[in-house]
Chains A and B, each alone.
Chain A
Amino acid sequence: MLTLLGCALSSSVPAAHDAPSEAAFLGELPMVLSASRLSQPLSEAPGAMTVIDRDMIRLSGARTMADLLRLVPGMQVGSRSGYYPLATYHGLSDDTPRRMLVRIDGRSTYAPYLISGTEWHTITVDLEDIERIEVFRGTNASAYGSQAFMGVVNIVTRAATDSPRLRARINQGENGIRDRNVSIGQHFGSIAVRLSAGREGDSGIPELHDSHRRQRADFRADWQIDHEHRLEFHAGMVRLKASIGYESDYDNPVRPLEHRAAFGQVRWRWQPTPDEELNLTVYQQETSMRDGFRVNVSDVVPIAPPQWYVDVDYDNRIRRSDIELEHTFSPRTGMRMVWGLGYRDDRLRAHQIFHRDLIRYHSGRLFANLEWRATPQWLVNAGIMAERGNYSGTLLAPRLAANYHVSEGHTLRASVGRAYRRLTPFEHDADMRFYEANTGILLLQTAQPSPDVRPERITVRELGYRAELAQRSVSVDVRLFEERIDRLIRRDNVATDPPPLLDPRAQRFFSDDRATVSGVEFATMWRPTATTWLGVNFARLNVGSSSDRAERSAPRTSASLLAAWSPARRWHLSLAHHYVGTMGWYIRESQSVPKQRRTDIRIARSFSTAELRGEFALVLANLGKRDADFRPAFKTPRQSYASLSIEF
């Protein structure tokens, strides 16, 4: 009875439910723009950074992540095949770039599996779900480990709460371009989820048999447990079906390839105060590839018995588990400390590559970086990473950087650092043997173990200048650098034991090359609004090395002109023109790529109703003369396409 009376009383209280309560004024809120979440002001970074934000991603018309890296000064981008882009910072790369780390929300995509590097096609996130891409130009091993040997690309995806309820995008164009992408976003109380899926593909490079179709799904859920605790869950999977090989190559024939990758990641964040944050990230990912074919030996060696054949089985399965704890706090006013530890374990099953059933590749890491605002003008960053694992023992990567704010909007910076690149299993243990199936005779060995190879070492000295003027609408960034790499790893064919029948030699790695990359990078942009800009990038690189392949591996000069503007309401125009001087992907001179020019234009018109927003775009990609970007014979195709996207 009393309860009933109580209810009657409360329901007749004049403070009606639709009147605002004071709760909104008193309630706690989660820390959204915490120091670790914010992009660091570029004038305070301990080195040169390029940030590609969402508007730049959208207006670039890029269909792949690697395409976006053309916007970064000093970066070289090529295509080994239509689905296998290559990206390297400051050259020194063969057809599997492995001196730069790519991370997505803290998850390393570096695949130290076969020949190593980033397999871009295994990335599951849609370009539209990327918040920004931060490219740290230069070694950043002190923060991210030895795989960030010459640079790191950090991809930050959008929070699930920050997704439209529905988004759909269709690309259709020349060279077989057919992309279909859809994404849905939903809220369930304090949990927000986003699921995106897509099918993408094109016909690849006309001179190659490399058409491909990719199916991907990406899921993210963010659960704001309370204002201090947050749990993020990511998962994704991708399946690539592609064609690979060359018509004339008996030992690398045209054949189908299937590559699958899947991952799951959980991240717990605790933010007790604006200055403190604790992150625990755990993820597991697995990739598997099916690639097998039979070679009739008599096709390669006419005198061989006709019944001789070799079954080549490049099938592989790799599982990675990783855990990392990261703690950010302010030990005293003006200081910010980030420290953490982590452990990673890769299990590789690729018998054809290692002549063994299982390879384990594991390492632990401990890192710390102290940012000290010594005076309003001086900012000092000191960091170190210690990595210990099999293949390389203990590696230490220290860095010291100082930024000096000369005056409002002008900053000078200087940094010195040293890092090591941990050996990959392939560099140390590759053992690729091909036996004749009937007799068991060892016919050929294309790679042999390299027990004496040692981790590469880089010593970096750089000076930089950053200006942000006219309320940050004009930026100028200059980086002057010298990157000295000792024990640069080279490959050579040397005698192997026992000697195979067809060729007594097999490829082996040696640590006796060295290279010094020096030069200057310059980037300037006038960007009065988020979607209007005019920018110029320029890089002048000089590689001095004991290896002529290394010397030719980076262009002397590269430059880009970038522009975007809105000529009329709802119309957006953007343009990018890139020039890259002669370079080679670590190959003999005759296979160097002549200087390349590339022009991309995007014309778009947006439309909206009360509920729905959309855009129709025409992307004219690689207009004009077709140039090659990997081998002189493979000319990058024109890839113009039309795109329709809607969201609400």
Chain B
Amino acid sequence: MTSWLRARLPILLFMPLLLCVAGVRAAPAVLVVSSEMDGAYEQVANAITRELQLSDPAAAVDIVSREAFRARSLDGIRTIVTIGALAAGEVILAAPPMPVLHTLVPRETFARLASSTTRTGDSAIFVDQPADRQIAAIRAALPEWQRLALIAGPQTHELVAHLARIAGAEGFEVVVREIKSDRELFAAMQQIMSRPAVLLAVPDGEIFNSHTIQNILLTSYRQRSPVVGFSPAYVRAGALLALYATPAQIGKQAADAISSVLNGGRLPPPSHSHEYEVGVNLTVARSLGIHPRSAETIKSVLNRREIVE
């Protein structure tokens, strides 16, 4: 008996600890629901895991696809993070009792999702950049340019109106064309770019997509006019400038927000990413004969401005 006990004592002593560890693994505190499991989505998820491990080593993260989420038990989950609009829609529909942080969603999409429920306490980190930051970036990068062109599609007339208001207040001469489909794009571009202007692209898949981007960039280029985009792909394609948050930056900000929930606090209010990148295509700038300020200068101007505000 004694020998039996002696042999098993370590196990008995460590049993509660083992149970505890197993318990944590079985019911992680944070559930990440992702619209897709690769690319930028995966990078956001990885950044959340990585950052949480640094700030909150005890917190466990489980990453599931939105399909797997439907069958997933929520026992022990203290907060849910969604990545992408589809995951956000899925989770809102399930109406979980814990606070949800939506990441990588456009601001407008989050607004519509939020208005469709009575939930409170949820939050978001938007994929897009705030309108005033974008306008300020154009001002900082291209101080000599006064004319700003915007094309609004069916998904984006509110956003474009918002951008136009802010640009107008910043002293830009704003020209706006509203179109219903990409069939009207050629004519709209001819008209709006009849004089050189900075064309600010908006995330309207109907108007600005991989099929229409040629027309947009070539027409602007011909008018010796720069295009300002909203993703690194735009800068590669030929836009002069783009402001965007990287998946790692969004993931890090999400991890910070989750930490506060795990420590008994609440999610911070919905916001754009605090950190972001400024991409500048110097080849295009040189060919256009434009000398934009460097990405670092633009960022420091924007940072100063945001601190003042």
Q: Mark B172-213, 1 if CB is under 8 A from A, else 0.
A: 000000000011001100110001100000011100111111
Q: Is the CB of B191 within 8 A of A608?
A: yes
B289 at the interface (CB under 8 A from A): yes
Q: Which residue of A lies closest to B283 (CB)?
A: A35
CA distance A125 to B32 in the complex (A): 56
Q: Is the CB of A13 within 8 A of B155?
A: no
A274 at the interface (CB under 8 A from B): yes
Interchain nearest-CB distance for A321 vs B (Å): 29
Interchain nearest-CB distance for A531 vs B (Å): 9
Q: Which residue of B lies closest to A28 (CB)?
A: B233
List which A602-628 residues lie within 8 A (CB) of chain B. Answer: 608, 611, 613
B161 at the interface (CB under 8 A from A): no
Q: Which residue of B lies closest to A472 (CB)?
A: B289
CA distance A471 to B143 in the complex (A): 13
CA distance A26 to B35 in the complex (A): 13
- Among A9, A24, A190, A648, the residue within 8 A (CB) of B204 is A24
3 A-B pairs with the lowest CB-CB distances in the bound complex, closest first? A33-B238, A13-B89, A14-B116
- Among A13, A30, A190, the residue within 8 A (CB) of B237 is A30
CA distance A540 to B227 in the complex (A): 42
Q: What residues make up the interface of A, taking CB atoms closer than 8 Å to B?
A: 6, 9, 12-16, 18-35, 38-41, 44, 53-54, 131, 158-159, 161-165, 185, 187, 189-190, 192, 222, 224, 227, 274, 468, 471-472, 529-530, 608, 611, 613, 648
A-B contact pairs, 13 of them (CB 8 A): A15-B112, A22-B127, A24-B231, A25-B127, A32-B213, A32-B218, A40-B287, A131-B218, A158-B218, A164-B187, A224-B214, A274-B281, A613-B191
Q: What residues make up the interface of B, taking CB atoms closer than 8 Å to A?
A: 39-40, 67, 70, 84-86, 88-90, 92-93, 104-106, 108-109, 112-113, 116-117, 127-128, 144, 154-156, 159, 182-183, 186-187, 190-191, 195-196, 203-205, 208-215, 217-219, 221-224, 230-231, 233-234, 236-238, 244, 281, 283-284, 286-287, 289
Q: Is the CB of B187 within 8 A of A38?
A: no
Q: Is the CB of B244 within 8 A of A19?
A: no
Q: Is chain A's interface secondary structure helix, strand, loop, or mixed overall?
A: loop
Q: Which residues of the partner chain B approach A30 to less than 8 Å between Cβ atoms?
A: 210, 213-214, 237
- Among B40, B67, B187, B237, the residue within 8 A (CB) of A29 is B237
Interchain nearest-CB distance for B24 vs A (Å): 31
Q: Is the CB of A468 within 8 A of B231?
A: no
Q: Is the CB of B183 within 8 A of A24?
A: no
Q: Which residues of the partner chain A approach B86 to less than 8 Å between Cβ atoms?
A: 13, 15, 21
Q: Which residue of A lies closest to B129 (CB)?
A: A25
CA distance A465 to B188 in the complex (A): 39
Q: Which residue of B lies closest to A132 (CB)?
A: B222
Q: Which residues of the partner chain B approach A40 to less than 8 Å between Cβ atoms?
A: 287
Q: Which residue of A lies closest to B220 (CB)?
A: A33
Q: Is the CB of A162 within 8 A of B215?
A: yes
Q: Is the CB of B234 within 8 A of A29?
A: yes
Interchain nearest-CB distance for B44 vs A (Å): 10
Q: Is chain B's interface secondary structure helix, strand, loop, or mixed overall?
A: helix
Q: Is the CB of B214 within 8 A of A161?
A: yes
Q: Is the CB of A14 within 8 A of B237?
A: no
Q: Which residue of B lies closest to A190 (CB)?
A: B211
CA distance A527 to B211 in the complex (A): 32
Q: Which residues of the partner chain A approach B233 to less than 8 Å between Cβ atoms?
A: 27-29, 227
Q: Which residues of the partner chain B approach A14 to less than 8 Å between Cβ atoms?
A: 89, 92-93, 112-113, 116-117
Q: Which residues of the partner chain A approach B208 to less than 8 Å between Cβ atoms?
A: 24
Q: Which residues of the partner chain B approach A613 to less than 8 Å between Cβ atoms?
A: 187, 190-191
- Among B108, B186, B190, the residue within 8 A (CB) of A19 is B108
Q: Which residues of the partner chain A approach B89 to less than 8 Å between Cβ atoms?
A: 13-15
Q: Which residues of the partner chain B approach A9 to less than 8 Å between Cβ atoms?
A: 70, 90, 93
CA distance A219 to B309 in the complex (A): 56
Q: Is the CB of B211 within 8 A of A187?
A: yes
Q: Is the CB of B106 within 8 A of A25?
A: yes
Q: Is the CB of B215 within 8 A of A161?
A: yes
Q: Which residue of B lies closest to A2 (CB)?
A: B70
CA distance A21 to B208 in the complex (A): 13
CA distance A19 to B112 in the complex (A): 8
